[in-house]
Amino acid sequence: MFRFLKPRGVKTGCFLLLLGTPLLFVWFLKNPGKTVVVQNMGEDSQVKTPKNNSYVRSWPSCQQNTSVQNITDLNTLPNNIQDFLYYRHCRHFPMLLDLPDKCGGPDKSAEVFLLLVVKTSPLNYDRREVLRKTWAKERLHNGVWIRRVFISGTSDSGFEKMRLNKLLELEHGEHSDILQWDIMDTFYNLTLKQMLFLEWMERNCPNVRFLLNGDDDVFANTDNMVEFLQSLQDNDGGKHLFIGHVIQNVGPIRESYSKYFIPVQVQESETYPPYCGGGGFLLSGYTASVIYNMSKSVSLLPIDDVYMGMCLAKAGLGPTSHIGVKTAGLYVPSSVLDRYDPCFFRDVLLVHRFLPAHLYLMWHQINDPNLKCSQKKRLQPHQIW
């Protein structure tokens, strides 16, 4: 997500990173997506399945922090912020849909080169369907495995919540690609969802090489990503890597009408550390583990991409910009050029905000072997911001 128009990240990195490295290993995963549907999730804290191969403990429900009622001017804050403060310390929630064998087990998880982790909400069925057929397709590319998980909470309440849970359960049964926690899938719970994912990863896929963490409405050129990551000479996922659209020199928005409102009661400091816009960023398995470890001692901030930056900063690390990541959208500076010309998208890594129909078409167009792009249709670095 892009939310600050003025300050923009420093851009480094190469624009075109398409050199494939020689095929070193061909990895095969057996049963990559054994699915588990957790039944009868109740209020109590008992393990519900005979087998202990899945994280199915239902956590005792987390209690409100009653001291929050004493926070200065609490009652002047919007309800969702008050709610956030009361439950800010809650980090454990039961899973409704799990995939403990997604990466072939913790030991074999090193065989997954790129794990696509896509934030989705139950209702976004059309987005998930198109991603499964396009950039998020599970496949072997250039000799390495790409795998996919959607991460979701629950939406709505009553019958509608049950219907939407049923939908995810159906999709999970068919595609083995949904992780769902029993949390409300709201904007201010995105950080929580992200951290629940990292905890899941630590348990089930700790040795995954790289991850793409992004929204379900982005266009990601995952073939280019694999080739870019393979071209890194000294990093096989075991070293720090966190790249995307870097946002820096910004701080909390104090206007209560903003979607991104963060009052002093949530964060006093006027600055955020550098972070990558949450529409999509690439990170190594090592960095995912560092962030998870640091998160245990960094209190939650409701804006997930900023929070990742805070955890990085705590570890003395930072994000790096890549010019091919356009979480603010791709700016094609002419009224006579088609802004959806596939030639503009062939070389990028990620562009934010695509409708499913545009995404489906674009993926097919950039993969068309007959696609001809003249030099003037290759985006030049100065044309992209």
Ligand X SMILES: *[C@@H]1O[C@H](CO)[C@@H](O)[C@H](O)[C@H]1NC(C)=O
Q: Which of residues 174-203 bind ligand X (CB under 6 A)?
A: 183-184, 186, 188-189
Q: What amino acid occupies position 35?
A: T
Q: Which listed range, 61-69, 135-143, 271-279, 335-343, lies at the site for ligand X (CB under 6 A)?
A: 61-69
Q: Which of 71, 74, 332, 373 binds ligand X (CB under 6 A)?
A: 71
Q: Which listed range, 23-31, 62-70, 325-333, 366-374, lies at the site for ligand X (CB under 6 A)?
A: 62-70
Of 80 and 365, which has the nearer Cβ to ligand X? 80
Q: How far is the CB of 99 from ligand X (least distance, A)?
A: 16
Of 187 and 331, which has the nearer Cβ to ligand X? 187
Q: Is 70 in the site for ligand X (CB under 6 A)?
A: yes
Give the N- to C-terminal CA distance of the chain in Å, as an integer. 15
Residue among 171, 132, 140, 103 at smallest CA distance from 23: 140
Q: Which long-range contacts (CB under 8 A, 24 or more apart) does 129-136 make?
A: 129/356, 130/356, 130/357, 130/359, 130/360, 131/216, 131/359, 132/175, 132/177, 133/360, 133/363, 134/359, 134/360, 134/363, 134/364, 135/219, 135/220, 135/221, 135/222, 135/359, 135/363, 136/220, 136/222
Q: Is 275 in the site for ligand X (CB under 6 A)?
A: no
Residue among 184, 174, 177, 120 at smallest CA distance from 152: 120
Of 80 and 235, which has the nearer Cβ to ligand X? 80
| Dihedral over alpha carbons 222, 228, 233, 235 (to 10 degrees) | -40
Q: How far is the CB of 182 from ligand X (least distance, A)?
A: 6
Q: How far is the CB of 35 from ligand X (least distance, A)?
A: 18
Q: Is 383 in the site for ligand X (CB under 6 A)?
A: no
Of 39 and 52, which has the nearer Cβ to ligand X? 52
Instruction: Give CA separation, 75 vs 59, 83, 90, 259, 329, in Å.
Output: 30, 11, 21, 19, 38
Q: Is 68 in the site for ligand X (CB under 6 A)?
A: yes
| Cα 288 to Cα 279: distance, rounded to the nearest angstrom | 17
DSSP per position, 208-221? -SEEEEEETTEEE-
Site string for ligand X, 123-142 (x = CB under 6 A): --------------------
DSSP per position, 299-353? ---S-HHHHHHHHHHHTT---EE-TTEETT------SSS-TT-HHHHSS-SEEE-
Of 87 and 242, which has the nearer Cβ to ligand X? 87
Q: Which of 2, 3, 4, 65 binds ligand X (CB under 6 A)?
A: 65
Q: Which listed range, 67-75, 94-102, 207-215, 364-372, lies at the site for ligand X (CB under 6 A)?
A: 67-75
Q: Is 317 in the site for ligand X (CB under 6 A)?
A: no
Site string for ligand X, 277-316 (x = CB under 6 A): ---------x--xx--x-----------------------
Q: Is 235 in the site for ligand X (CB under 6 A)?
A: no
Q: How far is the CB of 360 from ligand X (least distance, A)?
A: 32
CA-only gyration radius of the chain, Å: 21
Tokens encoding 196: 């629940």
Q: Is 52 in the site for ligand X (CB under 6 A)?
A: yes
Beta bridge partners of 141: 144
- Residues binding ligand X (CB under 6 A): 52, 65-68, 70-71, 80, 83-84, 87, 89, 183-184, 186, 188-189, 286, 289-290, 293
